[in-house]
Amino acid sequence: MKKMKKQPFLWGSATAAYQCEGAWNLEGKGLGEWDVFSHESPLNINGATGDVSCDFYHHYEEDIRMMKEGGQNSYRFSLSWCRILPEGRGRVNEQGIAFYNRVIDCCLKHGLEPNVTLFHYDLPQALAQQGGWANRDILDTFEEYAKVCFEAFGDRVKLWVTINEPKYYAYCSNMVGNYPPNHHVDFNRYFKTVYHEAVASAKAVKIYHDLQLGGEIGIVHDSSNVEVAPQTKEPERIKAIADLFYNRVILDGAILGELPGGLIPWLQENDIDSSYIRFEDTLTLAQGKIDFLGLNVYNRFYITDYTEGETEVFHNNKGAGSTAKEGIRIKNWYETTIDPTTKRNLWGREIYPRCMLNTLMEIKERYGEIPVYITENGHGCYETPDENGMVQDDERIEMMQGYIDFMFKAMEAGCDVRGYYAWSTMDLYSWVNGYEKRYGLVRVDFDNNCRRIPKKSYFWYQKLIQEHQK
């Protein structure tokens, strides 16, 4: 791992291209797989799309200025691959490059460090049609895209992320089936996708280091710290499996530069395809170790012994409108369970601030002194503005304060945390939930020209930052 420069702690907020930009068909942008899914798929139950969303494409100056005024010194956002390379490879869309140049320059003008992700779920449709992440060609295509971005923006962007939540993206696309290409409980495709993401990410890291642009590059993992319920009969065995499945499959490659020991025989024992794993990739992984780890921290995996029944994924996409449970049962491995002592949100997800501390400590124990950014943390809920259009989001404030307190505890215990990003900068499109679930520090009035109105949490965050920058 490269020695990183110590910089001031970064306090920021985050968005992702498809979720906020809008301008889905403007200025040469190609089609993305989410454009097609949201327009055409019967699985897009609520019919919401990111066509306009909060129209960041035309409001970026206002959003960046608000971040600055809110005391933030960094902005995490992603690039839309198909805005830059409309067919996924080959022809570059200069208007797409010009847009991101404007965004980056605006960040720098306002003193915000840009933290830029290359891939945040939105695959160009042209590549999706060729098998997407299940096609090995993606390794070279991703490298080509990464190089275009590093060469265009690397003089000003010094913090890069290759892929956002590779495991969660693979999980939703191939196990839950609620993200395109909507495969359900397909272990073969899940592992193949994760594997290609891990190798593609390593290729991008290597090329970034070779270009010697003087910045740092990492990957963002959805922190999935696994905890085993009391009275579980085989706690060690099932924790090891769950850790492999959720965490090590990405983190060992990215941090240690090698596949998790025992992965291939384990896949074979479980009748899961491993034929795509090539010896030459060992070198790619070894040469592509990240400089820092980004962690999106929301919750933990709370598991117990497998009881009976076929593998099944339970997913609540509809919040209060649904009684569906949330979790997974994997035949002969384990199943998720509910801790009766903790709270859950309306989507059935546990609210568990302590997972911030537990995740950071576990990463430190397993991988040693790796610099970490909390690249996302936040709270999604229904919201109703008051008569002045203000959202009094005390629930969000309480939640985020809890997670931040645990982050400080981890830092006191020696974890090298370098920054924290609230998810999200403003209200935006939520994958599959559309616009009913809000995450922003700033409210977006979608019925009124996407007017921005800071929420109570925006001012709380501003104050918190001021206090910690003293």
CB of 13 to ligand NOJ, least distance (A): 12
Binding ligand NOJ (rule: CB under 6 A), the pick from 49, 247, 430, 457 is: 430
- Per DSSP, the three-state class of 59 is helix
- Per-residue mark of binding to ligand NOJ, 121-160 (x: CB under 6 A): ----------------------------------------
Q: In the complex with ligand NOJ, which residue's Cβ is closer, 238 or 400? A: 400
Angle ∠(85,87,93) on CA atoms, nearest 5: 35
Q: In the complex with ligand NOJ, which residue's Cβ is closer, 19 or 359? A: 19
C-beta of residue 84 within 8 angstroms of C-beta of residue 96: yes
CB of 102 to ligand NOJ, least distance (A): 23
Q: Which sign, positive or negative, has the C-alpha torsion 37, 41, 45, 48?
A: positive
Q: In the complex with ligand NOJ, which residue's Cβ is closer, 16 or 157? A: 16
Binding ligand NOJ (rule: CB under 6 A), the pick from 13, 225, 296, 336 is: 296
CB of 19 to ligand NOJ, least distance (A): 6
145 forms beta bridges with: none
Based on the residue annotation, tell me whether 369 is a catalytic residue of this protein.
no
Residue 376 interacts with ligand NOJ (CB under 6 A): yes or no? yes
Binding ligand NOJ (rule: CB under 6 A), the pick from 423, 458, 460, 461 is: 423
Nearest residue to ligand NOJ on Cβ basis: 16
Question: Radius of gyration (Cα) for the chain, nearest Å?
Answer: 21
Based on the residue annotation, tell me whether 151 is a catalytic residue of this protein.
no
Alpha-carbon distances, residue 366 vs 183, 222, 286, 360 (angstroms): 32, 16, 18, 10
**Interaction residues for ligand NOJ, span 162-191 (CB under 6 A):** 164-165
Q: Which stretch binds ligand NOJ (CB under 6 A): 64-72, 171-179, 231-239, 423-431?
A: 423-431
434 forms beta bridges with: 430
Please state, in angstroms and rounded to a whole number, the distance separating the CA atoms of residues 26 and 458: 31
- Per-residue mark of binding to ligand NOJ, 431-460 (x: CB under 6 A): x-----------------------------
CB of 291 to ligand NOJ, least distance (A): 20
- Per DSSP, the three-state class of 20 is helix
Residue 18 interacts with ligand NOJ (CB under 6 A): yes or no? no
C-beta of residue 288 within 8 angstroms of C-beta of residue 205: yes
The number of residues that bind ligand NOJ (CB under 6 A) is: 9
Catalytic one of 143, 197, 326, 376:
376
Q: In the complex with ligand NOJ, which residue's Cβ is closer, 96 or 434? A: 434
Residue 16 interacts with ligand NOJ (CB under 6 A): yes or no? yes
Catalytic one of 21, 165, 216, 383:
165
Residue 117 interacts with ligand NOJ (CB under 6 A): yes or no? no
- Per-residue mark of binding to ligand NOJ, 273-292 (x: CB under 6 A): --------------------
C-beta of residue 237 within 8 angstroms of C-beta of residue 323: no
CB of 376 to ligand NOJ, least distance (A): 5
Please state, in angstroms and rounded to a whole number, the distance separating the CA atoms of residues 20 and 103: 13
CB of 279 to ligand NOJ, least distance (A): 32
Q: Which residues of 69-93 are buried (b: 16+ CB within 10 A; e: fewer)?
A: ebbbbbbbbbbbbbbbbbebbeeeb
CB of 378 to ligand NOJ, least distance (A): 7
Q: In the complex with ligand NOJ, which residue's Cβ is closer, 195 or 431? A: 431
- Per DSSP, the three-state class of 114 is strand
Phi/psi at 22 (5° precision)? 70, -145
Burial of 35 (0-12, 13-18, 19+ CB in 10 A): buried
CB of 74 to ligand NOJ, least distance (A): 16
C-beta of residue 93 within 8 angstroms of C-beta of residue 82: no
Residue 317 interacts with ligand NOJ (CB under 6 A): yes or no? no
Q: Which residues contact 92 (CB under 8 A, 6 or more apart)?
A: 84, 85, 148
Please state, in angstroms and rounded to a whole number, the distance separating the CA atoms of residues 67 and 80: 21
Q: In the complex with ligand NOJ, which residue's Cβ is closer, 13 or 296? A: 296
226 forms beta bridges with: 301
Please state, in angstroms and rounded to a whole number, the distance separating the CA atoms of residues 318 and 455: 24
Q: In the complex with ligand NOJ, which residue's Cβ is closer, 19 or 125? A: 19
Please state, in angstroms and rounded to a whole number, the distance separating the CA atoms of residues 314 and 334: 14
- Just list the catalytic residues: 165, 376
Q: Rule CB under 6 A: which residues touch ligand NOJ?
A: 16, 19, 164-165, 296, 376, 423, 430-431
